[in-house]
Amino acid sequence: MSEDDAQPTGRAAPAALVPELGVADELVDDIAAGAELSVGEQVALLAALRRVQAEELDPVGSRRVLVEAAVDVLDADIGWLSLVDHDRDGFVVVHHVGIDANFDIGRQSVSGFGAQAARRQATLIVNDFDRSTRTPAASKVQLIAAGVRALICTPLIAGELVGLLCIGRRGDARFERRDSVLLGTLAAQGAMTVRNGAMFAEVERRTKHLQAALSIDARVHAGLIAGDGLAGVARVLASALGRGVSIQQNVVAEEPGWYAPDGARLTRPPAAEHVQRELVAAGEELGAIQVDGADSLSDLQEQAVDAASTAVVSELLARRRAEEAEWQLHGELLAELVSTPAPAPRALAIRAARQGLDLAEPATVMAVVRHRPLRGSTSLLLEARSAVRSRLPAGSAVLAFDRGDSVVLALPAEASIHASVVEALRTSGLVRAGVGRAAAGDHQRALRQADACLALAADPGREDLVDVADLGLFRTIVDGDSQDAAATVRRALGAVHLADRVARIPLLDTLAAYCRAEGRVEHAARLCHIHESTMRYRLDQLTEVLDLKGGPGRLLELRVSVEALAVLRAAGSDPFD
């Protein structure tokens, strides 16, 4: 191990233990020696401590937040938390960030770098990890494979050893003593903050800040009552902070803007960088308050932003409830339209006209489902409404309702709007969507088409947005004319279907992937999520019941049959049932 391989930066172990570890190059009694934190680091550290403490009643959540906060505060690349496992006489990784999902140091930590930190009860740093010789080979291989070149590890102690918190950096970045301060404080869950400041000075400071916050809060609420909206809140806050302010949100239709301390609206953000405070209610992100400039906020400014944040969140929720009442009426209208054959009864047509929907226009309906939501994502219905509203002229009705498994939307006919809505929804997770188009007022048929296209979008190798207008001749199947297509598919693929059932090998799926991959075996294997050799084996089985030769013409013929089968199944008319 090199001279800098392991630098203990915390409390020293008993002298008798040092030779056993074999890494005692330097001992530092004071963990903070020569490592004064910047204001920005202190602010980041306090925020991280609050995040950890907020999750203290949730064991799983607190582990996740602790690792994520440590990685963020140390500006690192990877991190993991290992807890003591007495049954295995070692440590078990319970959460990790930035590493392969199968990462597991497991028992190997009992004799590795982490164990040294545990025995010394100190934070240790290795800045030349790839040259370390004392880390066991199995765990070292995993870490080097993850790109780790510098490592810092600190024990979690609550009367006895609980676990280890380890953070790593890739590339040439090194850990310094200030990093040990940050990590050690996080591991102690904010214990060092207790010693800051005298009680009287703290109470006096908080009282002053509270008075200022109450004053700002009163001005903000007065403006909201007077109808000044979010722009009024931004002006009050900009005046109090002496910096430009913008309130970004996607809850209500009010357009965001930047406001100067004198109340003037700015045409562009005043600086390339800004401080941002998220607006959150019950775990849902509603938007953010942005403050001009990269300089961190003072405590008094933080209080002002907190007061404004509370008022803005309350205002957004109140206005959203009002909008949702209106949206519910629109959703009920659309739900009735898609369940009613055209032409709509006169009473329904009158309701539609009253809510801004012209049944004389062609009906366009989208069905959308989110199949991989990101953590913290909001309701798909809410996001879909917001995405559509922002792409329609001001005052346009947004018709949407939730069917439980998917969301249904009435949209303009322009394909560019459909793609834009789906792109907006992707920011919170993967989605699939289908678009149906029918004659004037026939929303029932349009939804039937949209559902078929939504089912098609789930096929491997397809785009996640399928428009009935792009189906060409297959559109007639979706519209209900499926008898001839079903007979053709049975003639072309009946033998494959029978072999599929007898051999219990998904030969139809294999053929579909092979056709969509245009005969490229490697690509077809990826579509089926199998190894290339497995794909070749399946193709060998397939050739026993189906002729795959004949060049591009034969491949096109098979692809037409496969595509027809997919559309038939998506439309609920499986020819083999």
Per-residue pLDDT of 211-254, as tens digits, reads 877 888 888 888 888 888 888 888 889 888 888 898 888 777 77
pLDDT at 139: 65
CATH of 199-319, one of 3.30.70, 3.30.450, 2.40.50, 2.60.40: 3.30.450
**The whole model's pTM is what?**
0.43
Mean pLDDT of the 522-548 span: 85
What are the pLDDT digits (tens) for 466-481? Answer: 888 888 777 777 776 6
Q: Does residue 89 have a pLDDT over 60?
A: yes
Question: In sequence order, what are the residues at sequence separation of 6 or more whose Cβ sits closer than 8 angstroms to the Cβ of residue 79?
Answer: 67, 68, 70, 71, 96, 97, 98, 165, 166, 167, 168
CB 357 within 8 A of CB 440: no
pLDDT at 101: 64
Residue-wise burial string across 109-118, b where 16 or more C-beta atoms lie within 10 A, e elsewhere:
bbebbbbbbb
More confident residue, 111 or 156: 156
pLDDT at 74: 92
Q: What are the start and end residues of each CATH 3.30.450.40 domain in the chain?
A: 7-195
What are the pLDDT digits (tens) for 144-197? Answer: 777 888 889 888 877 677 788 889 998 888 888 888 888 888 887 633 332 333
Q: What are the start and end residues of each CATH 3.30.70.270 domain in the chain?
A: 339-468
What CATH class does 339-468 carry? alpha beta
The per-residue pLDDT of the chain, averaged, comes to: 77
Question: In sequence order, what are the residues at sequence separation of 6 or more whose Cβ sits closer than 8 angstroms to the Cβ of residue 534?
Answer: 525
pLDDT at 107: 45
196: number of CA atoms within 13 Å, CB side?
Answer: 7
Residue 421's nearest CA partner among 451, 371, 467, 465 is: 465
Distance (Å, whole) CA 72 – CA 63 = 14
Please name the fold of domain 7-195: Beta-Lactamase (3.30.450)
Banded pLDDT at 67 (limits 50, 70, 90): confident
Strands 148-157 and 124-126: antiparallel
Residue-wise burial string across 185-212, b where 16 or more C-beta atoms lie within 10 A, e elsewhere:
bbbbbeebeeeeeeeeeeeeeeeebeeb
Q: 512: exposed, middle or buried (C-beta count within 10 Å: 0-12, 13-18, 19+)?
A: buried
Banded pLDDT at 71 (limits 50, 70, 90): very high
3 state DSSP class of 475? helix
What ranges make up the beta strands (E) of 227-306?
245-249, 258-259, 265-266, 274-281, 284-292
Tokens encoding 318: 């109140």
pLDDT at 30: 39
pLDDT at 76: 92
CB 527 within 8 A of CB 516: yes
pLDDT at 374: 65
C-alpha dist (Å) from residue 59 to 64, 250, 477: 9, 32, 53
More confident residue, 378 or 409: 409
pLDDT at 481: 66
Mean pLDDT of the 494-510 span: 81
pLDDT at 378: 65
More confident residue, 135 or 322: 322
One-letter amino acid for residue 314 of the chain: S
More confident residue, 510 or 55: 510
CB 209 within 8 A of CB 303: yes
Distance (Å, whole) CA 8 – CA 434 = 59
